[in-house]
Structure 1
Amino acid sequence: MELRHLRYFEAVAREMSFSRAAERLHIAQPPLSRQIRQLEDELGAQLIDRQARPLQLTPAGRFFYEQVVQLLGRVKEAAEATRRIAEGERTWFGIGFVPSTLYGFLPDLIRRFRSGLQGVEVGLSELTTLQQAEALKAGRIDVGFGRLVLDDPALHGEVVLQEALVAALPSRHKLLGQARVSLARLADEPLVLYPARPRPSYADHVLEIFRTRSLSPKVAFEANEMQTAIGLVAAGAGVALVPESVQRLHRDDVSYRPLSDAGVSSPVIMNCRADDRSPLLARLRAQLRTQARAQERRRS
């Protein structure tokens, strides 16, 4: 699948006409039709109902169209930002993050970091901790916020937060009758684990928490995304251990309980290149310290 396939499909789906799309793309209609056929063959799905008058997208086509619009929009943004950086108009600063950090301090940190920052393109990338390590060393991002310790001399990591874990339970679950839930009780329930890959990951951290207490949880499902794991909990497929900030993801069909076991937490670790002395990284660190002090004052 190539970028032109996505652009061709977007044009046909927007125009609902091969002839108008071909005119818009400045190509002949037969090769356009062949390109769309190739795309459908590669996906193994019919995207356009050619028998309908006018043309219509199939259910698979409607879903794919929404994804393509987002992808092409992101490509356009990336191209424009790259041009501005190449022309010296802006500086690039990339931030990687695992999804669970978006429910805690990170959005406020990024908002304050960007406030008043002129001539800087701040890029945000959802990446696992291991993917962040690769992106840091390749120069694709400048800082990453993950939940695993990276044993790599090329990288520097510091724990910025120890976040308590809580149990995510389906509504009307029997354990909701307790103010606090023990890991021993959770080990008797089917466990929804995430992410399934790549490993090691937060999933291994959760399993280690149980193992250090001589508990063997019953893993029922492994999801790649935290939101998927929460959805499986809502469906009654099992329970999950999640950072407490995830409680901000309000759902009527999921409830949370703190743990009765002491010291069950997950670190949020800020990673960067060990030799990075950039002013922008220093600015982010300073903002992080300011935010941490303000949070301590609120607690006290």
Structure 2
Amino acid sequence: MFQLTQLRCFVAVATELHFGRAAVSLNMTQPPLTRQIQLLEHELGVLLLERSGGNVRLTPAGVVFLREAEDILRRSQSAALAARRAMRADAGCVTMGFIPAASFTLLPQLLASVQAQLPDVQIVLREMQTLDQLEAIGTDRIELGIVRPFAPRSFAESAAIFREPFVLAMPSEHRLAEQACMRLSDLEGEAFIQFCPSESRYLYELIAGRLRAQGVAPETVQTLSHTHSILALVDAGVGVALVPRSAQKLGYAGVRFRPLDEVDSFDVEVHLAWRRRGRQGVVDAVRLLIQEAYPVPAKA
């Protein structure tokens, strides 16, 4: 099998089309350069260069092989760089999952923070629901995840990085749309669009639990997994919904958002998740940066 040294010699001669100039560019003498080209041609079983006096030109096989040789040299350099980066805590590649709701506000700010403070780190994003991210963390398909809070897992840890209140979303023509602030009791008997209890369990249980605690019973007309789908139905006049405040960024023209009063207000969280005893170095650097940039105080 040919060697990288032989490829470098061939590319130098193919670029210069002159053995003497190629030898100078490689900081070597001409006889060993010629020998390396001969060994390469012998290994391949084809003639790569035609020599006539002081003139050199590529054969058809040489033209094709030059493109491949340059590509191999580029990839070998990239591999070496990646290996060196892997030994650094401030460089490399990290695969991060995120829930769709994180893209409304948190994700763009988070990526900007990483880019500013760890410019040699590449974040590869994967849009996934929380349960899918946990499975991917457990099987090492992603290294960090932006998730909703989840039931304890033996292989995963998490920390809150974002907290926001729920707001009430209603059609712009709704009878309550002119009120500045809402009470949960205002939802009694209202057509209500709720999060899906199986696919959005955390959000469903937060909302359902608070409504039960307040003794409020709206009429659930639909259950959906994604905030944007819920707001699309609100926009169409199907009902009202409780959604995280950042959902206002979606900009549905026919939807009005109102805060809950101080007594009834309650919050939803986003967590950063990672694998226990997972890969160190750059993953830990990104994780710690995010946790320091987005501290969330414990609930009182």
Q: What is the TM-score normalised by the length of structure 2?
A: 0.63
Cα distance in structure 2, aligned partners of 1:105 and 1:179: 26
The yes-or-no answer on 1:266 pairing with 2:268 is yes
Deviation at 1:96, TM superposition (A): 1.4
Q: Is the 8 A contact 2:228 2:250 kept in 1?
A: no
2:293 pairs, out of 268, 282, 291, with: 291
**Paired letter, 1:182:** R
Gaps of 5+ in 1: 1-82
1:129 counterpart residue number:
130
Q: Is the radius of gyration larger for structure 1 or structure 2?
A: 2
User: Is contact 1:143–1:272 with CA below 8 Å preserved after alignment?
Assistant: yes
The structure-2 alpha-carbon separation of the partners of 1:139 and 1:231, relative to structure 1 and needing over 3 Å to count, comes to same
Indicate how the Cα distance of structure 1 residues 187 and 92 shifts in structure 2: closer, same or farther if over 3 A, else same: farther
Specify the code of the residue in structure 2 equivalent to 1:137.
G
Kept in 1, the 8 Å contact 2:170–2:235? The answer is yes
Measured in 1, the distance between the counterparts of 2:282 and 2:151 equals 22
State the shift of 1:227 in Å. Answer: 1.1
Whether the 8 Å contact between 2:188 and 2:217 is mirrored in structure 1 is yes
**Counterpart for residue 108 of structure 2:** 107
Number of positions where the alignment pairs a residue of Structure 1 with one of Structure 2: 212
Q: AA paired with 2:220?
A: V
What is the identity, as a one-letter code, of the residue corresponding to 1:225? Answer: H
In 1, distance between residues paired with 2:248 and 2:139?
34
Partner of residue 204, structure 1? 205
CA–CA separation in structure 2 for the residues paired with 1:107 and 1:277: 25
**CA deviation map 1:100-132 (0-9, x unaligned):** 222222211112213475665422122221111
2:113, 2:290 → 1: CA distance?
Answer: 9
Structure 1: distance between partners of 2:80 and 2:265: 49
User: What secondary structure is seen at the aligned counterpart in 2 of 1:176?
Assistant: coil
Q: What are the Cα deviations for residues 150-190 of structure 1, in whole angstroms up to 9, with x where unaligned?
A: 31121111122221110111112111121111112124211
Q: Deviation of residue 212 (structure 1)? A: 2.5
Whichever residue aligns with residue 230 of structure 2, its letter is A
Displacement of 1:264 in angstroms is 0.7
Counterpart residue number, 2:280: 278
Distance 1:255 1:88 in 2: 55
- TM-score (norm. length: structure 1): 0.63
Q: How does 1:122-201 map to 2 (within 5 A)?
A: 122-195=123-196, 197-198=198-199, 200-201=201-202
The one-letter amino acid paired with 1:270 is: L
1:195-254 CA deviation, whole Å, 9 max, x = no partner?
Answer: 464253422322222122232332111223221111000000011111111112222211
- Secondary structure in 2 aligned to 1:145? strand
Q: 1:89 to 1:211 in 2, by over 3 A?
A: farther
Equivalent position of 1:217 in the other structure: 218
What are the equivalent positions in structure 2 for 1:232-243 lying under 5 Å apart? 232-243=233-244
Paired AA for residue 168 in structure 1: A
Does the CA contact (< 8 Å) of 1:195 and 1:201 recur in 2? no
Q: How does 1:14-53 map to 2 (within 5 A)?
A: none
Counterpart of 1:144 in 2: which secondary structure? strand
Contact kept in structure 2, 1:113 and 1:283, CA below 8 Å: no
Identity %: 26
Change (3 A) 1:111 1:171: same
Q: Secondary structure at the match of 2:199?
A: coil
Q: 1:263 to 1:282 in 2, by over 3 A?
A: farther
- Give the direction of change, closer, same or farther, for the CA distance of 1:215–1:117 in structure 2 (3 Å limit): same
